[in-house]
Chain A
Amino acid sequence: MTVNIQFCEPILNTQSADRQFLSPHIVYAALLLALVAVVLISICVGYRIYSIDQVWRAVVAFDGSETSVVIANLRLPRAIIAPLMGAGLGIAGVLVQTLSRNRIASPDTLGINAGASLGVVIASFWFGVSSLTGLSIAAATGALAASVLVFAIASSAGGLSPLRIVLIGVTFAGLGHSLVEVVLSTNEAQLSQLLFWLSGAFVDRPIALAQTGGPIIVLGAVIAIFLALPLDALQADDSTAIGLGVPLVLVRGLSFLAVSLLTGAAVSMAGPVGFIGLVVPHIARWLVGLSHRRLIPAAALIGAIYATLADVVARFVVYPAEAPVGAITAVVGGIALLVLLKRRAA
C-alpha cells in the first residue's frame, strides 16, 4: 500500500542542516586502509626499526637471521593478535552499550573483563589447564558468568538504571581483581609475570593464541551481525521493542553469548585490556550512525586500529622498556571518558 496521504500539516524544519553521514563504503575503505597502515607500522617499528623489504623477506623467505626471527616470532604475532583483539572488544563494546542502554558501559567497567581474567587464572592455577583452547574457554566462561551476574543483579529490584549498572560493574571488577590476587598469591613464583599480563599486553604472545582466539572472535562477530536488526530495536524501551516483535530474552541471551565469546577470546589472547570497549563504539557511532549493521563492522575496524596503535605507543612511552598496553588504553580511555562526561555525550 503506497498511499501518500498527508493528513496533517507538515512540520517545517527550521534548524540548520543536520549532519549526515558519509557513505558507509567510504568509511569502511578508509578504515581498512588505516588498519593496513597501522599493522605495517606495528611490524616495522619498535625497539628496532625494520624496513618493509626486511619484513617481506622474513615472511616469504625466512632465513633464520636475527632480523627474521624477531619479525616472525615477536612482531608478527603481536601485529595479528592486537587487531583481532581490538576488533573483538570493539564489537563487544557496541553490544554492551546497546544492551544496557548506557553509553558509558563497557566490558571492563562492567566487570566482564575481570570475570574473564578470573576464569583464566582459576583454570591455570587451580586446574592446571595449560592448553590455549582450554584457557580461551575458561576466559569465555568467566566472561559469561560475569555478564549474566551483572545483568541479573542490575535488573533485580526494577530496571537497568545506568547508576546501578555502573556501580555493580565497578564492584564486580574490583571483586574479580581481588579474587585474582587471592589465587595469584597462592603461587608467588609467577606473580611478576602475571602482573604484566594482568594489565594487558601483546608482548611475548605466541601466534598460536591467534589461531585459537581468532575463530572465537569471528564466531562472536557473526552472532553479533545476526543480532544487528533486533539490537537496533532494542535501543528503544522494552515495551516498544516487544511491540515491534523483538524476542527480548532470546536476543539478550544471544548477545551475552556473543559478548562472552568476544571478551573471553580477547582476554585469553592478551589479558584484560581496558577501555577499548568504551571508546571505540563512540567513535564508530560518530562515523556511521546508530544502525548496528554499520556499527558492528565499523567498531571492529576501529577497535583493530586502536589496539594496534596502542600497542605501538606502548613500545615507546617508557622506551626502552615496554609498558603494558592496558596502561595506555586506560590513560587514553580514562581521558576520553572524562571528555564524554563533560560534554554529556554519555
Chain B
Amino acid sequence: MTDNSSPRIDVRALSLSYGKVEVLQSLSLPIERGKITVLAGPNGCGKSTLLRAIRRLHKPTAGGIFLEEVDISRLGDKALARQIGLLAQSPSAPEDMTVEELVRLGRYPHQSMLQPWSPDDASALESAMAGTGVSALRHRRLGSLSGGQLQRVWIAMVLAQQTNVVCLDEPVNHLDMAHQLDCLDLVRQLKNAFGRTVVLVLHDLNLAARYADHLVFLRDGAIAAAGTPEALMTEENIARVFDVEARVITDPVHNRPLCIPINTIRP
C-alpha cells in the first residue's frame, strides 16, 4: 500500500454548515500528491474546518471529497483511517500514558480482534519512534515531556498509522521557535523520505511560505487564491485576504517570500 505513490485528493464543490452558519461555500481544491499543501487564512476563514472535512470529521452539506476518484463518504471508518491520518489541533491523552502506548494507538486502523498485535504493527511502531527520534522515551509518561517532545510523539503516532495522506491542524501554535522548526522539518521529511501527501493548516504566514509546495489562501469559507508561495505572497493578496498592509521581500536564507506586516487595514 505504502509503496504506491500517494493518491490524489480532490475537494469538489464542498459546502459545509454548522447549524445555520455556512462555513465553507462550494469549495473546490485539488490537492497534489506527494507535496505539502498549506491552508492559510485569517481567523474564521474555514481552514481548520476544511482540513477536518477532508478527514471526514464533519459531514458536508453539499459536494464531496474524493480520494483517487473514490468518494470518502463511502469508505469504512478503518479503511479511511488507513488512508488519511490526522494530527488534531489540541490533541490530548491521559498524562500517565506512556509514549509507547500513545504511538501504539496509531496502529488501531490496522489491528484486528483476532491478531491485535502483528509483526507489521511492531515494526511500524519501532520505525515510527525511531524516525521521530523518540525511541529512548518509550516508557516515559506523556505528562513528563516538554511541549516539543510531546509534539514529536504525536507525530510518531500519526507516522505509525502509515497513511499515504497526513493532515496536521496547526501543529506548531503552542511551540517555541526552535521546536516549531523541529516539528516542521520533521513534517517535511514525511514528504521527502516517504513521499506522503501532507496537508497542513498554519497560522504563521511566513512559516507557511517557507514549507509549502502549494499554498492556499482562504477567506470567508472560500478559496481566495491558490498557487506557489511566490505567486501568492503579494502585497495585494495579503491585504485582500488578511486585512494587513505588508511588505513582501525574499527571505535571503531560504529563497522564499517573507511577509513583514506594517498596518492593519480597516475593511
A residues engaging B (CB < 8 A)?
Answer: 1-13, 15, 17-20, 101, 226, 229-230, 232-233, 235-237, 239-240, 242-247, 285, 289-291, 293
Contacts and interface: CB of A to CB of B under 8 A. Distances in A.
B127 A3 contact: yes
A2 B193 contact: no
B126 A4 contact: yes
B116 to A, nearest CB: 6
Contacts of B79: 245
Given A5-B193, A290-B101, A237 B90 contact: yes
In the A-B complex, the 9 residue pairs with the closest CB atoms? A245-B81, A243-B86, A239-B88, A10-B133, A18-B139, A245-B78, A245-B109, A13-B136, A7-B189
A3 B196 CA distance: 14
Contacts of A240: 86-88, 91-93, 105
Contacts of A290: 94, 96-98, 101
A18 B77 CA distance: 35
A18 B136 contact: no
A77 B97 CA distance: 40
Contact of A235 (B2, B97, B182): B97
Interface residues of B, number: 63
11 contacts: A4-B130, A8-B182, A8-B185, A11-B136, A232-B105, A235-B97, A244-B106, A246-B108, A290-B94, A290-B97, A291-B101
B264 interface: no
B186 interface: yes
Interface of B: 2-3, 52, 55-57, 76-82, 84-94, 96-98, 101-102, 104-106, 108-109, 111, 113, 116, 123, 126-127, 130-137, 139-141, 144, 149, 152, 161-162, 167, 182, 185-186, 189, 193-194
Given A1-B162, A229-B116, A236-B92, A243 B140 contact: no
Contacts, number: 139
Contacts of A291: 101
A218 B186 CA distance: 47
B137 A13 contact: yes
A242 B169 CA distance: 14
Most chain A C-beta atoms within 10 Å of own C-beta, residue among B87, B105, B149? B105
Contacts of B123: 2
B2 A1 contact: yes
B169 to A, nearest CB: 8
Contacts of A236: 91-93, 102, 105
Nearest to B190: A7
A298 to B, nearest CB: 15
Most chain B C-beta atoms within 10 Å of own C-beta, residue among A19, A229, A245? A245
A233 B55 CA distance: 17
A15 B96 contact: no
B176 to A, nearest CB: 16
A12 B136 contact: yes
A13 B139 CA distance: 10
Contacts of A2: 123, 127
